[in-house]
Chains A and B, each alone.
Chain A
Amino acid sequence: MDELTRQMHRREFLRLAGALGASAGIGAFLAACGASGSSSAPAASQAAPTTAASAGPAASAAATPGPTGTFNWLTWGDHWYQAEMDKIAADIGIKANITSFSDNIDAYTKIQQVGGQVDLVSGDALWVPHYYQSQLIDPFDINSLKVSSQLFSIARSFEIWTSPAGYLGYPNGWAPIQITYDPAHVTSGADSWQLLLDPKYKKRVVVEDQPVEIMAYMGKAAGVKDPYNMTDDEIAKAKALLIQLKPNILRLAPQATDTVAALKNGEAWIATINLGADTSVMDQGGPKLTTFTPKEGSIGWMDAEMQVHGGANENLLMPFLEVHEQAEYVAANFMLNRRPLFSEAAYKLLINQGQQELADHLLFNKPETVLTMTLKGPGTSTQKVIAAFNDVFGA
């Protein structure tokens, strides 16, 4: 930040001073209101740290006056929060017209149809190179963004996101799918996907209603190496485990909040969750849960913001990311949504804020974990996988 300050002209300094004043106000607001994030933020009841509105992002925003305007962003609800967007708009004059989507396939098919009508799109892991191969996004030089120096170094060099033309997206967050259970009801020491299949837990398991992902981790349980591109034999193995799993499933939860609710009220004893959902259960007064990553390996996601090819507002994206990805905003986002992000500076900020225990519990300090996960991506076996899933869950 000092370097940035040195580069500032008088006019920029005045602008920063104004931003700082606004920051203080927003910080107080965030602290007072607790949940100031978007309604779609899963853990909106969590207060954003006051650092969200401290000087950092505003200073960066003010450092280089740039283009102003509105761009179109297709993203998940947990990639932003309203107070942040309001402040960015006030500081640098860039607004985002945000459209939410539910799943990668949803966003991908939309971009296929509308292309450059969207400027920025979020996507997971192997979906990112798939966008690139389909010529739907433009790579960029990630190191040209000053804020990228705040990333864990591993996040700037993921092979799957590297192309000769540049980096395919700006890294955001990540999480493996884990298993959590209530030790009051479940034999402790579980470390395998097999826990889901134990007949002792009939109608006590909740999994999210995502057929392709369920089949993928059944594939992992069956020892399949590439569960998004399964052969017919591998699908048969995964299906056999799914048949064992079915009687144990209390419900296929439409969204993560339903899983949290079922664990909280004790209807479910075991669930597959995205990293961090267990803390949401405990925060809401539910039982203390034990969570583990299955020894057979897990599937997981890591997502990025991608620049859509032909977007009309391309010039707004880098200035926006330069501010949006500042540690203060990322740390606040972490506190709202409880999953690790790729910003090392945000991790250090969280330590300063006394949140190291939570951050470490949620593996914020171990981004290399993503290298051990089977990453989400578009598969060649999707259709057959759904057929198998329907065969099990149909009458």
Chain B
Amino acid sequence: MTAETLDGAASAPLAGVPNSLVRRLGRALPALPGLAVLLFLFLVPMAIMFVFSFWRTNNDFRLVPDWNLDNYARFFLEGTYLRTFLKTLVMGSLVTLATLLIGIPFAYFLVRYTNRWVQRAILLAVIVPFWTSYLVRVYAWQAILGEHGALNQFLMGIGLINQPSTLFNYDDPGVFVVLTYIYFPFAVLALYAALEKFDFTQLNAAQDLGARPDQAFRHILLPQIRAGIITACIFVFIPILGEFLTPTLVGGAQSSLIANLVVNYLRQAQFAEGGALAIIIAAFVTVVMIVFRKSLRVEDVVTSG
């Protein structure tokens, strides 16, 4: 802290006022609604669910404090849960990768080659889908991917196929496509925010010094938009771990993700059993968040503003 800053602090309106409890509470006041939301709508329910996950649901659908670890053991001992969780991780990774592979060139083009007005217009177009409900957007994809959907009509229309393809019809590829569509805007917004701050003359300088374009991209650009990439990964990968609606609507019988199995318990009021599975997923998400957070260096955070 510089001497100038210290001087400024000394002359601030509150300088000299005792650091009383009232004053500290006054400072915290604006944060109280947010803290209350966090406490009562997140932490308390999570704590309750955590406790319940060690209980048992009786035949009257009531939770009884019959403490046990069976609900957790189920996840690790019955292969279907581990396999489905693994499948969810793979799906999440593939969708994250796809949104990055599509999103980075898209955001790069937007920032480097278009003016402000065009950028705003295109970003608006990216955001517009959020104005409609998630459910409506996913249902719309049924009309596109279905056996008699727009995609098959188009492919048959141009003579590429003779009869409707079932490739994207209520199966994993359909889930992949729809999830990529749903989460693409999240990735683009994070990447755009990072690229917007990038000084593109550095790429020219790198090539002037002998770097090939791909080298300049890998060694100059990527490290500097690292925070944006990690943010995009968080925005895309983590919500997919809890996705059950898209697999339900476009995934058919072969495409359950781990949240679908959890929901099957919760819909039948088996809260202890479903709660344990949900806690395991939440614990995994926490670990992922810590890993992501640790991979962000301080300068990344400063750079990303």
User: CB within 8 Å of B: which residues of A?
Assistant: 103, 105-106, 108-109, 112, 134, 203, 209, 211-212, 246, 249-252, 254, 265-267, 378, 380, 382-383, 386-387, 389-391, 393-395
B93 on the A face (CB < 8 A): no
**Cβ-defined contact, A108 with B61, below 8 A:** yes
**Cβ-defined contact, A383 with B256, below 8 A:** no
**Cβ-defined contact, A203 with B252, below 8 A:** yes
**Cβ-defined contact, A394 with B59, below 8 A:** no
Contact partners of A249 in chain B: CB under 8 A: 252-253
Closest to B171 in A: A203
Partner of A378, one of B61, B249, B264: B61
**Contacts A252-B252, A386-B265 given; does A391 touch B270 at CB 8 Å:** no
What are 29 residue pairs bridging A and B, where the CB atoms are less than 8 Å apart in the complex?
A105-B61, A105-B267, A105-B269, A106-B269, A108-B61, A108-B269, A109-B61, A203-B166, A203-B169, A203-B170, A203-B252, A209-B248, A251-B252, A252-B248, A252-B253, A265-B146, A265-B148, A266-B147, A378-B61, A380-B59, A386-B264, A386-B270, A389-B264, A390-B81, A391-B80, A393-B253, A394-B83, A395-B83, A395-B256
Chain A's nearest CB lies how many Å from the CB of B94?
A: 14
Contact partners of B256 in chain A: CB under 8 A: 393-395
B257-290 interface with A by 8 A CB criterion: 260-261, 264-265, 267-270, 273
Q: Bound state CA distance, A116 and B223, in angstroms? A: 61
**Contacts A246-B253, A387-B78, A393-B253 given; does A382 touch B268 at CB 8 Å:** yes
Contact partners of A252 in chain B: CB under 8 A: 248, 252-253
Partner of B148, one of A212, A266, A380, A386: A266
**Cβ-defined contact, A378 with B253, below 8 A:** no
Contact partners of B268 in chain A: CB under 8 A: 105, 211-212, 382-383, 386
Chain B's nearest CB lies how many Å from the CB of A179?
A: 17
Q: Bound state CA distance, A356 and B61, in angstroms? A: 42
Chain A's nearest CB lies how many Å from the CB of B187?
A: 25
**Contacts A383-B57, A390-B261 given; does A267 touch B74 at CB 8 Å:** no
Contact partners of B252 in chain A: CB under 8 A: 203, 249-252
Contact partners of A382 in chain B: CB under 8 A: 59, 268, 270
B87 on the A face (CB < 8 A): yes
Contact partners of A250 in chain B: CB under 8 A: 169-170, 252-253
**Contacts A134-B60, A211-B264, A266-B147 given; does A394 touch B80 at CB 8 Å:** yes
Top 3 nearest A-B pairs by Cβ distance? A394-B80, A249-B253, A394-B84
B62 on the A face (CB < 8 A): yes
**Cβ-defined contact, B270 with A254, below 8 A:** no
**Contacts A203-B170, A250-B170, A267-B147 given; does A395 touch B84 at CB 8 Å:** yes
B86 on the A face (CB < 8 A): yes
Partner of A254, one of B78, B147, B169, B249: B249
B interface residues, tally (CB under 8 Å): 35
Given A246-B254, A251-B170, A265-B148, 12 additional A-B pairs, CB 8 A: A103-B267, A106-B267, A109-B269, A211-B264, A251-B253, A252-B253, A266-B147, A382-B270, A386-B270, A386-B273, A390-B264, A395-B83
**Cβ-defined contact, B61 with A394, below 8 A:** no
Chain B's nearest CB lies how many Å from the CB of A386?
A: 5
Q: Bound state CA distance, A9 and B79, in angstroms? A: 73
Closest to B262 in A: A390
Q: Bound state CA distance, A153 and B83, in angstroms? A: 54
Contact partners of A391 in chain B: CB under 8 A: 78, 80
**Among the interface residues A203, A250, A265, A394, which one has the most CB atoms of the partner chain B within 10 A?**
A394
**Cβ-defined contact, A395 with B86, below 8 A:** yes
**Among the interface residues A109, A391, A393, which one has the most CB atoms of the partner chain B within 10 A?**
A393
**Cβ-defined contact, A394 with B147, below 8 A:** no
Contact partners of B248 in chain A: CB under 8 A: 209, 252, 254
Chain A's nearest CB lies how many Å from the CB of B81?
A: 7
**Cβ-defined contact, A383 with B170, below 8 A:** no
Chain A's nearest CB lies how many Å from the CB of B120?
A: 37
Contact partners of B267 in chain A: CB under 8 A: 103, 105-106, 211
**Cβ-defined contact, A383 with B253, below 8 A:** no
Q: Bound state CA distance, A395 and B80, in angstroms? A: 6
Contact partners of A212 in chain B: CB under 8 A: 268
Chain A's nearest CB lies how many Å from the CB of B173?
A: 14
Q: Bound state CA distance, A50 and B256, in angstroms? A: 46
B227-273 interface with A by 8 A CB criterion: 248-249, 251-254, 256, 260-261, 264-265, 267-270, 273
Closest to A249 in B: B253
Contact partners of B261 in chain A: CB under 8 A: 390, 393-394
**Among the interface residues B62, B86, B261, B270, which one has the most CB atoms of the partner chain A within 10 A?**
B261
Partner of A267, one of B84, B148, B260: B148
Partner of A395, one of B87, B170, B249, B270: B87
Partner of B270, one of A106, A266, A383: A383
Contact partners of A106 in chain B: CB under 8 A: 267, 269
